[in-house]
Chain A
Amino acid sequence: MKTGVGILYNGTLDRLLQEHADAVDFVSVIPERFWTDHGRDAATRFAPLPEELERLERLARDHQLVAHGIGLSIASGSTFDVEHIRELARWRAKFQFGWVSEHLAAVRVRTEVTSDHHAGLTLPLAWDEELLDMLCERIAIAQDTLGCQLLLENGVVHTPVPETDMSEIEFLNALFERSGCGMLLDLHNLYVNHANQQVDGAAFLDALNMDAVGEVHVAGGNKLYGVYLDSHSGKCPQQVWQWLAKVVPRCGNLRGVTFEFHESYFPQMGDEGVLRELQLARDALKSEGGPTPWQLPSSNVHSQT
C-alpha cells in the first residue's frame, strides 16, 4: 500500500464514500463498533452486530480497511485482555486490515467486582520504567497474536502525572525501540496538549523517532469552559496542517494520514467540508521529500524484545 489518505468511518459517510470513493485510499474502522462483547465469562464472548457487520462487508468490497481499536486498554495495570486481541486478529484476517492501531491508553480499571470496569475516559499515564516494562511484554504478545506490527496512538491529557521517570517523548521513543511497535501520531492530540498544557509541539516532533510513525491522525476540536477538547468537530486547526507538512518528509514508514470527525458534526461540514480536509491531507503528502511508497511487509514486524 502506498502512503495514502483515509478517513475514520462513521455512519454519516456511507453515501459520500460511494459517490466519492476515490477521495480516500483507505477507510479506518473501529472494530469494537461492529461486535458485542458479552464478557469474559460468556460461552461465546464476541458476537458480531448484524447491521454493523453488513456495513463493514459493504465497505470492504470497495475500500481497503484498516483497524483502529479503542477497547484494548493496553496500559491498564489490572488487566491485559489477550482474548480481545485474538478477536482483533480474527477480524484482521477476515477483512484484510492493512494495519492495526490502538491507543496507548488505560481505560479499564479494577473494582470490587471486575478488573474491566471502564474508567469513562483515558487515564493519564505515569511515564515510568515500570509501565515501560509492562507495555513491552504486552506488545510482544499482541504483535505475535495479531501477526503484524501494532501502532499505538499518543493521547490527550488534562492532568499530567507529575514527576515521572521520563518525559512523554523519552518514553515513546524508548517504547518504540524496545518493543518494535509503531506509532499512530495523532497531531490533533498533540495540539490539544499544546493548547491546554503548553506542550511544545514543535520540540515534541523534533525529538520523536519518526521512523516509528506508521499513521498520522488529523482532526479538529473546540472549547468547553475554556478548555480545548479533542472533540473531532470538523475542520483541522492550521497548526495541525503545518505540523503535518513538516513531519511527512521525515516519516519513512508512513502508511496513511487519516482524517477523523465525529458524525454529529457532519451536518455542519457536509460533503464539501469533509472532502476539503481530505484534499488538504493529500496536499501534505505531496510535499517535497515526502514519503516513498511503502508496502505492508508480508513477513510482518514483530517485537524486538
Chain B
Amino acid sequence: MAIAEFQRALADLIASPQRCLEARKAGRVAFAEYALTEREITRLERMVMDAGMSINCTLYRVNRLTPVYSVLPLTCRMLGDSIAHELDAFWAVSRDATLQYRWEAWRFGTWLLERISRGDIPGGSLEDVIHFELACFEVRTAPRGDFPEDAWPHPRKRILRLHHDISTWLAGETTSQPVTRSGTPSAVLLDASGTDLQVSLIAE
C-alpha cells in the first residue's frame, strides 16, 4: 500500500537527523529503497527541507526517551554523557518500538546488559542497577492475585542478589547524585504486595 511505504520513509527520516541531512544533500536518490510514487518522492524531498523536520526529530527523541527514563532513571543517570550514544545505537537497531513503558524499558535494559556481557561497555554497578530497576518495575506491575501476605513465591515480591551496596544506590536515587561502586555484595527484598514498593536489605 502506497500510504504504508510513504509513512515508513517519513518515519525513518524523523528517527534520524543524520538521514535527514543526507537526504537534503542526496535529493530523490535518498528514497530509492522505498516503493514510492513520483508524487510521494517529491513530497518527501520538500518535507525534509522543511525547518519543522528538526522539531520532528527532537520530539521523536523526547517521546522515546520518556518510557526508558520513567522505568530506568538510575540507569540513565549512571550512563552519564554516554546516554545519548547508547540511545541512538539502541534506537537504530530497535525496529519494533512501542511506547509502552514496560517493553521499551525492558528492551533497552536487556540491550545494555548484552553490551556489558560482550564487553562493549563497562558493567560493574551499572549492571546491578539495570537488574534492580527492571525488577522493581516487574514487581510493581505484577498481578496482585489473592495471595497471603507471607506467601512465597509471591508475584509482587522478589529477592535480588547484587554485587554492590544498595544503600548507596538509594541515596543516589533520592539525591540525584551519581551512584558509586562500593564492591559490597548484598541481597535485597523487593516487596510490592502493599500499596508502595518496599526495598529492604537482607543480611547475609
Contact = CB atoms under 8 A, between A and B. Distances in A.
Contacts of A50: 141-144
Given A51-B140, A78-B8, A109-B11, A161 B98 contact: no
Contact of B11 (A49, A123, A227): A123
Nearest to B53: A159
Contact of B98 (A37, A77, A134, A197): A37
A30 B135 CA distance: 25
B60 A123 contact: no
Contacts of A272: none
Interface in A171-205: 196-197
Given A51-B140, A224-B55, A227-B55, A77 B95 contact: no
A22 interface: no
Interface residues of B, number: 41
A162 to B, nearest CB: 5
B203 interface: no
A65 interface: no
Contact of A119 (B15, B55, B141): B15
Interface stretch (A124-132, A210-218, A238-246, A247-255): A124-132
B24 to A, nearest CB: 13
B56 interface: yes
B55 A109 contact: no
A227 B52 contact: yes
Contacts of A43: none
Nearest to A197: B52
Contact of B6 (A126, A158, A196, A225): A126
B21 to A, nearest CB: 15
A276 interface: no
Contact of A36 (B54, B56, B141): B141
Interface stretch (A83-91, A110-118, A283-291): A110-118
Contacts of B1: 77-78
A117 B52 contact: no
Given A49-B141, A120-B64, A196 B7 contact: no
Interface string B28-62: 00000000000100110011001011111011110
Contact of B2 (A37, A77, A160, A224): A77
Contact of B7 (A49, A51, A109): A109
Contacts of A227: 52, 55
Nearest to B143: A50
A27 interface: no
Interface of A: 32, 36-37, 47, 49-51, 76-78, 106, 109-114, 116-121, 123-124, 126, 130-131, 134, 157-163, 196-197, 224-225, 227, 229
25 contacts: A32-B100, A50-B142, A50-B143, A77-B5, A110-B4, A112-B95, A113-B95, A118-B97, A119-B10, A119-B11, A119-B14, A120-B14, A120-B59, A120-B97, A121-B56, A121-B63, A123-B14, A158-B50, A158-B55, A159-B47, A160-B50, A161-B43, A162-B46, A163-B42, A227-B52
Q: Which 5 A-B pairs have the closest CB atoms?
A: A77-B3, A77-B4, A158-B52, A120-B60, A78-B4
Given A36-B102, A123-B14, A126-B6, 6 more contacts: A78-B1, A109-B4, A114-B95, A120-B63, A163-B42, A163-B43
